[in-house]
Amino acid sequence: MSDTIYDALRESHRLQRSLCRRLLLSRPHTQHRRDVFTALRIELAAHAAAEERFLYAPILMHDAGLDASRHALHEHHEMDELVERLQQSEPSSRGWMATARALSHKVHHHLREEEKKFFQVSGKILGEAQKRRLARQYRRDYARMLKTLRQA
């Protein structure tokens, strides 16, 4: 049996959690901090784009999934704003780490909520074959987005 969209998403979720931990443990004034932040920024953007296309969009088409999808999209937007704030300031500047902590908190909250609530709601809407097809589509788009964002 091949994996489902949820298996594919959980892989990225593990990476996001790890990158958040590494960012919060990073030292100021280091290239390591910049590199970890860049990796997290790219991971979040690639994941969000593919997830929105291949999980949220299909669920938005169902009344039972409308509220959950809209909430998840809103949280993606909040994370995007925090990433943008971090990009606009120096990693060694005052307040940068506070914003990084806020981003980490938001990422962890979003992933926990998604795995505990959204996956259950959407799991009732999607059929097994659709879950497997969406996994393939998500993985393909996620890889494409990673490549595109790394080259930018």
State how far the Cα of 142 lies from the Cα of 14, in Å rounded to an integer.
15
pLDDT tens for 58-116 read 999 999 999 999 999 999 999 999 999 999 999 988 899 999 999 999 999 999 999 99
Do residues 103 and 20 touch, judged by C-beta distance below 8 A?
yes
Longest CA–CA span in the chain (Å) reads 50
State how far the Cα of 113 lies from the Cα of 96, in Å rounded to an integer.
26
Do residues 60 and 74 touch, judged by C-beta distance below 8 A?
no
pLDDT tens for 11-48 read 999 999 999 999 999 998 899 999 999 999 999 999 99
Residues 8, 9, 13, 15: what is their CA dihedral angle, to the nearest 10 degrees?
30
What six digits make up the tokens of 102?
A: 């806020």
What pLDDT, on a 0 to 100 scale, did the predictor assign at position 104?
Answer: 98
Residue in the structure block whose two tokens are 């709601």:
121
State how far the Cα of 56 lies from the Cα of 86, in Å rounded to an integer.
26
Residue in the structure block whose two tokens are 């999980």:
55
The pTM of this model reads 0.95
Which domains can be identified in the chain, with CATH numbers? 5-151 (1.20.120.520)
Residue in the structure block whose two tokens are 């606009």:
88
> Which among 34, 35, 47 has a CA at the least distance from the CA of 96?
34
Other C-beta atoms lying within 10 Å of the C-beta of residue 152: 7
State how far the Cα of 69 lies from the Cα of 121, in Å rounded to an integer.
10
